[in-house]
């Protein structure tokens, strides 16, 4: 066993410098802030993968919340008539979400229910807004017409309701639903208003049968979400948060802080959603002897891969999902395994445009991170900081499982269009932009012809941040990554620079600074007439700040 590493302070930005910058930022709206001034947030030096072992000592003293047949994240099959989701403020600092979708079904009560459906199901869902703020629910990852998409251009006022009627047209996979009121999405998601949406089909049934996986026992959703421990249930971003994203100092798993899970020494299927506003995780499993425990990736945002993909670590950015199979066989009772997020360089930088004389900026870009010091009573741990997320405690020996199925599913392929639609991600005039634009409800910069198949080339500037780019209404395939940062090199798993997580259907893809990511999208849909969708960054502060464009599909 390697020695326990020393405690690592989350950031080393001189507090005085950070305070000075934030005071300057507070003096003006984000829209008018001078990017140059932000360079004072820079960190001296960056952290690399060699700091993997640099972890904050964690104690795991709370049993992981495992979703069951009701209650928080309980499995609800909305088959017998309409489901009513009541957006409700649960207030305060107690356990669970401060703002939640609450539902009843017969005698059972649910908070943020995990909706379980089969492909082809016709759903009727009523959103009843019992909270004090306008909201709307969006079905992230689902093929949907605009009327049911919940894109935020129509809101449900407090006291009002909205009825969704739609057919489930997606293949099996783990999708999710979350609010989408423009400008308030980050606030509502950060307070816990979201749920999972699982589409299950014969491939799913076959996988569960082959590996003896039982939902709620050996198949467990893991929803990663964040809070500031000094201000749980509250969302009060400062100007730095608005620019870089809102990062908590505590990562919750299924709304549990410091979670552990007792397991048998056998296979577990973990279905991960990154529901954090802004944090990227570099997930890996570590045994108690310090060794990495490899695992298999079974699926991505839009369902199962063709075959299990061996991995040692994967990035998961906001809104992405991972379907992971980990095997605790061979770990003796009493041993444990940690799910951790390894350290990485978050590559936070903005162009240091020459601003006022006397500004701290030079002419180049600078890495920067928010600080771990308390700001306004709340704390932040910067992106890229190593975190220990969940401890698996092996309690019982298990039988060695059967071989993995060689084939999990037959994902449909996409024809590739030769023309590329260019999309550039960057920062200018105080805001993150796509093709130099910000969201405008009166403009539709992307127009796609009916039945088109398109190739999109998403390029992120070097002086930028990682952006988790999401398209409503359609799943896509990642064709190629180019000029990726060095820290992705060990994760490349296929040709064209693709990672394991690029090998399945996606609705959200992380694009690193300096990187180009090419995706193929089949825009054929079943709806009458033109439909309107959104393409945006799922760093929710970037989204709310306008890093979002409307997409019209004929």
Are 340 and 389 spatial neighbours (Cβ–Cβ below 8 Å)? Answer: yes
Is residue 350 a contact point for ligand C2O (CB under 6 A)?
Answer: no
Q: Give the nearer residue to Cu ion in terms of CB position, either 203 or 301.
A: 301
Contact 221, 324 (CB under 8 A): no
Partner from Cu ion, ligand C2O, none contacting 534, C-beta within 5 to 8 A by type = ligand C2O
Q: Which residues face 368 on adjacent strands?
A: 42
Q: Phi then psi for 490, rounded to 5 degrees?
A: -70, -10
Residue among 13 and 534 whose Cβ is closer to ligand C2O: 534
Q: How many positions of this chain bind ligand C2O (CB under 6 A)?
A: 10
Task: Please tell me whether residue 278 binds ligand C2O under the rule CB under 6 A.
Answer: no
Residue 534 binds ligand C2O (CB under 6 A): yes
Strands 508-511 and 467-471, by their bridges, are: antiparallel
Q: Which does 367 bind (CB under 5 to 8 A by kind): ligand C2O, Cu ion, none?
A: none
Which residues does 147 contact at the CB level (< 8 Å), separation at least 6? none
Give the pair of three-digit tokens for residue 328. 């605790």
Find the shortest distance in angstroms from Cβ 48 to Cu ion: 23
The C-alpha atoms of residue 473 and residue 147 are separated, in whole angstroms, by 12
Out of 18, 171, 180, 498, the only residue in the binding site for ligand C2O (CB under 6 A) is: 180
Beta carbon nearer to Cu ion, 198 or 539: 539
> Which CB sits closer to ligand C2O, 103 or 534?
534
Q: How far apart are CA 356 and CA 96, in angstroms?
A: 46
Query: Token pair of 117, please?
Result: 């459906």
Q: Is 246 helix (H, G, I), strand (E, B) or coil?
A: coil
| Least Cβ distance, residue 550 to ligand C2O (angstroms) | 11
Strand partners, 165: 124
CA distance 502 to 129: 37
Name which of 266 and 470 has its Cβ closer to ligand C2O: 470
Q: Which does 178 bind (CB under 5 to 8 A by kind): ligand C2O, Cu ion, none?
A: ligand C2O
Q: Are strands 267-274 and 321-327 parallel, antiparallel or unpaired?
A: antiparallel
- Kindly state the smallest distance separating residue 139's Cβ from ligand C2O, in Å: 9
Closest to 534 measured CA to CA, from 121, 136, 116, 84: 136
> What gap in Å lies between CA 383 and CA 280, rounded to an integer?
7
Pick the binder of ligand C2O from 196, 319, 322, 520 (CB under 6 A): 319
**Smallest separation, CB 518 to ligand C2O (Å):** 22
Residue 537 binds Cu ion, judged by CB under 5 A: yes
Q: Among 343-351, 383-391, 487-495, 533-541, which window interacts with ligand C2O (CB under 6 A)?
A: 533-541
182 forms part of the interface with ligand C2O (CB under 6 A): no
Helices (H) and strands (E) in the chain, counts: 7, 36
Query: Which residue's C-beta sits nearest to ligand C2O?
Result: 140
**Per-residue binder mask for Cu ion (CB under 5 A), 125-144, x = binder:** ---------------x----
Distance CA 292, CA 297 (A): 15
DSSP 76-116: E-TTSS-EEEEEEE--SSSSS-SEEEEEEETTEEEES-EEE
Give, as ranges, the residues between 465 and 494 that touch ligand C2O (CB under 6 A): 470, 472
Please identify which residue in 84, 542, 546, 548 interacts with Cu ion, judged by CB under 5 A: 542
Q: Residue 49, exposed/middle/buried by CB under 10 A (0-12, 13-18, 19+)?
A: middle
Quick one: 65 or 542, whose CB is closer to Cu ion? 542
Could you say which of 536, 542, 544, 553 contacts ligand C2O (CB under 6 A)? Answer: 536
Told to check if 539 binds Cu ion by CB under 5 A, we report: yes
**Mind spelling out the 3-state secondary structure of 349-406?**
EECCCCCCCCCCCCCCCEEECCCCCCECCECCCCCCCCEEEEEEEEEEECCCCCCCCC
Cβ distance to ligand C2O smaller for residue 149 or 327: 149
- Reading phi first (left if > 0) and then psi (alpha if -120 to 50, else beta), residue 483 is in left
Stretch that binds Cu ion, among 58-66, 168-176, 383-391, 540-548 (CB under 5 A): 540-548
Binding mask 111-150 for ligand C2O (x = CB under 6 A): ---------------------------x-x----------
| DSSP H or E segment with residue 187 | helix 185-190
Task: Answer yes or no whether residue 472 interacts with Cu ion by CB under 5 A.
Answer: yes
**Residues numbered 44-73 forming contacts with ligand C2O, rule: CB under 6 A:** none
Task: Compute the distance between CA of residue 429 and CA of residue 85 in angstroms, rounded to an integer.
Answer: 40
Among 178, 266, 279, 387, binds ligand C2O (CB under 6 A): 178
Judged by CB under 5 A, the stretch of 52-60, 94-102, 203-211, 463-471 that binds Cu ion is 463-471
**119 Cα distance to chain centroid:** 24
Cβ at position 472, least distance to ligand C2O in Å: 5
Phi, psi of 24 (to 5 degrees): -65, -40
In terms of CB distance, is 72 or 319 closer to ligand C2O? 319
Q: How many residues bind Cu ion (CB under 5 A)?
A: 6
Residues 244 and 35: their CA atoms lie apart, in Å, by: 12
| Contact partner, 180, from Cu ion, ligand C2O, none, Cβ < 5-8 Å per class | ligand C2O
Q: Which is nearer to ligand C2O, 140 or 506 (CB)?
A: 140
Shortest distance (Å) from residue 138 CB to ligand C2O: 5
CA gap 244, 237 in Å, rounded:
10
Residues that bind Cu ion (CB under 5 A): 140, 467, 472, 537, 539, 542
Residues that bind ligand C2O (CB under 6 A): 138, 140, 178, 180, 319, 470, 472, 534, 536, 538
């Amino acid at each position: 066993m390697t020695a326990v590493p020393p405690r690592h302070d989350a950031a080393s930005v001189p507090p005085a410098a950070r305070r000075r910058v934030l005071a300057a930022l507070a003096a003006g709206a984000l829209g008018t802030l001078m990017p140059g001034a932000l360079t004072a947030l820079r960190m001296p030096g960056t952290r690399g993968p060699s700091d993997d072992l640099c972890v904050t000592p964690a104690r795991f003293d709370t049993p992981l919340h495992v979703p069951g047949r009701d209650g928080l994240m309980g499995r609800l099959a909305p088959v017998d008539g309409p489901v009513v989701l009541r957006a409700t403020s649960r207030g305060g600092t107690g356990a669970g979400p401060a703002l939640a979708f609450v539902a009843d079904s017969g005698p059972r009560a649910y908070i943020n229910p995990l909706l379980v459906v089969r492909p082809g199901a016709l759903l009727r869902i009523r959103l009843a807004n019992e909270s004090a703020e306008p909201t709307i629910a969006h079905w992230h990852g689902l093929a949907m017409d605009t009327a049911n998409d919940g894109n935020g251009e129509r809101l449900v006022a407090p006291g009002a309701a909205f009825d969704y009627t739609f057919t489930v047209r997606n293949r099996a996979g783990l999708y999710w639903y979350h609010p989408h009121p423009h400008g308030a999405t980050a606030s509502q998601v950060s307070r816990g208003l979201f749920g999972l949406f699982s589409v299950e089909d014969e491939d799913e049934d076959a996988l569960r049968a082959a590996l003896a996986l039982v939902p709620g026992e050996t198949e467990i959703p893991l929803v990663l979400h964040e809070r500031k421990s000094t201000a749980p249930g509250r969302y009060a971003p400062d100007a730095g948060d608005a620019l870089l994203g809102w990062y908590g100092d505590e990562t919750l798993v299924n709304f549990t802080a410091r979670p552990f899970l007792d397991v048998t020494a056998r296979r577990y299927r973990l279905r991960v959603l990154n529901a954090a506003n802004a944090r990227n995780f570099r997930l890996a499993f570590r045994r108690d002897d310090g060794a990495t425990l490899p695992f298999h990736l079974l699926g991505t945002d839009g369902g199962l891969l063709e075959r299990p993909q061996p991995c040692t670590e994967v990035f998961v950015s906001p809104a992405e999902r991972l379907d992971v199979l980990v095997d605790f066989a061979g770990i003796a009772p009493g041993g444990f395994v940690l799910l951790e997020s390894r350290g990485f360089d978050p590559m936070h930088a903005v162009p240091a445009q020459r601003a006022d004389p006397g500004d701290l900026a030079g002419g180049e870009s600078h890495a920067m991170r928010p600080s771990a010091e308390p700001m306004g009573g709340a704390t932040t741990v910067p992106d890229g900081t190593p975190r220990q997320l969940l401890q698996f405690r092996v309690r019982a020996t298990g039988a060695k499982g059967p071989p993995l199925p060689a084939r999990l599913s037959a994902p449909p392929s996409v024809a590739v269009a030769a023309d590329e639609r260019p999309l550039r991600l960057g920062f200018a005039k105080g805001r993150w932009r796509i093709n130099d634009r910000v969201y405008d409800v009166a403009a539709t910069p992307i127009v796609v012809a009916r039945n088109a198949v398109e190739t999109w080339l998403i390029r992120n500037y070097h002086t930028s941040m990682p952006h988790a780019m999401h398209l409503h209404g359609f799943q896509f395939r990642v064709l190629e990554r180019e000029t990726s940062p060095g820290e992705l090199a060990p994760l490349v798993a296929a040709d064209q620079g693709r990672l394991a997580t690029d090998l399945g259907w996606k609705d959200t893809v992380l694009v690193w600074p300096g990187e180009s990511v090419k995706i193929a999208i089949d825009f054929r849909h079943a709806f009458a007439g033109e439909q309107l969708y959104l393409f945006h960054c799922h760093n929710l502060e970037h989204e709310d700040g306008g890093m979002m464009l409307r997409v019209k599909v004929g």
